[in-house]
Amino acid sequence: MNPTLELAKELISRPSITPSDEGCQELIAKRLEAINFKIEHVPFGDVKNLWATYGESGPLFIFLGHTDVVPTGPIEEWSHDPFNPTEKDGFLYGRGAADMKGSVAAFVTSIEDFINENKSEMQGRIGVLLTSDEEGPAINGVAKVVEELNNRKEKIDWCLVGEPTASKTLGDVIKVGRRGSIGCEIKIFGIQGHIAYPHKAKNPIHLATEAINGISKLHWEDKTGQFQDSVLQISNLNSGTGASNVIPGELTLNCNIRYSPSTTTEAIKESVESILKSHNLSYEINWIQGGNPFLNTETTLIESVKNSITSIIDIVPDQTTDGGTSDGRFVAPTGAEVVELGPVNDSIHKIDERVKIEELTQLSEVYKNILKSLLT
């Protein structure tokens, strides 16, 4: 019997499409309560969050993860029912197998084994923080729980995020930082009119063309040497009434910038708005702050993770900061060391998401080794 595999299958069988949890956290809570964890359910709105802790004093190590998954897409295109976990050719198939119910299962089994083997030698505390709001807006999930923990003066020392970080094989890549994310919605105003009388109207599409070209070329250099340079990407552009004989009165533009710690949100806002102003446009802009960037360099946690991977899998991981954001962005500002380590990410959010069964077992072993190196 493979305990990590069996728990992963139980979790995958629950169709917890964000922000639904479908009983995943209750299942985890029962497993952890059985080994004397203190359990707290911390819901906000329609989001379920679980905060579970073990130990009374000393440095706090937490596993951070999510129980929600993205929608399946066309179910008929899956080789198997996405919520009927299926083993085939050494892989476990199902929505959430890699992102990130496999990691959550490995959290639990690694903790169970660690406490069973090292209870008397343990020095410190273990925490598990799970949310059903990572794949969604990420408003009522980890951000809110961390705020609550800060209010309690609860200090997190080390945070291991189970996001799927591996490229080709488990352990080949760990994330030691993430770019921040800021978006904006820009509305550019003209005057609606008949297409045959352009002199009586102002076409916002024509007015905005040069400004759009300008902001699309914006570039902020990374000075840390650890991140890609920051660029602005336009994700949506909408204008027009649907009629071919009407000059529109408004254009809406949505943009997003993923930025490194050497770029500030103030610099980004100033660059974008200076271009809009230079073209004398009538506009409104609404900025939406996602997460702030973070970067760990050589820390105790990084060394522990690297050494544990090498010990169990016999490879040395690359340290990267690429990809999107993760809930680690809410924990890093507290001063905690944050590292992300999880399964291969080549099938996440795709049809026929899968994870290697052997690597689930290895992941649990690596997690257990990290606990042992930090807490004994």
The residues annotated with a catalytic role in the active site are 68, 134
The number of residues in the chain equals 376
Secondary-structure breakdown of the chain: helix, strand, coil percentages, each rounded to the nearest 5: 35, 25, 40
**C-alpha span between 166 and 340 (Å, rounded):** 10
Cβ pair 145, 62 in contact under 8 A: no
Residue 130 has φ and ψ, to the nearest 5°, of -125, 145
| Residue 229 to residue 221: CA distance in whole angstroms | 5
Between CA 22 and CA 46 the distance in angstroms is 12
- Angle among Cα 3, 98, 111 to the nearest 5 degrees reads 40
Residue 292 in contact with residue 146, Cβ under 8 Å? no
Task: For residue 116, give Cα distances in angstroms to 36, 308, 365.
Answer: 12, 19, 14
Within 10 angstroms of residue 177's Cβ, the number of other Cβ atoms is: 24
What tokens were used for 22? Answer: 């479908």
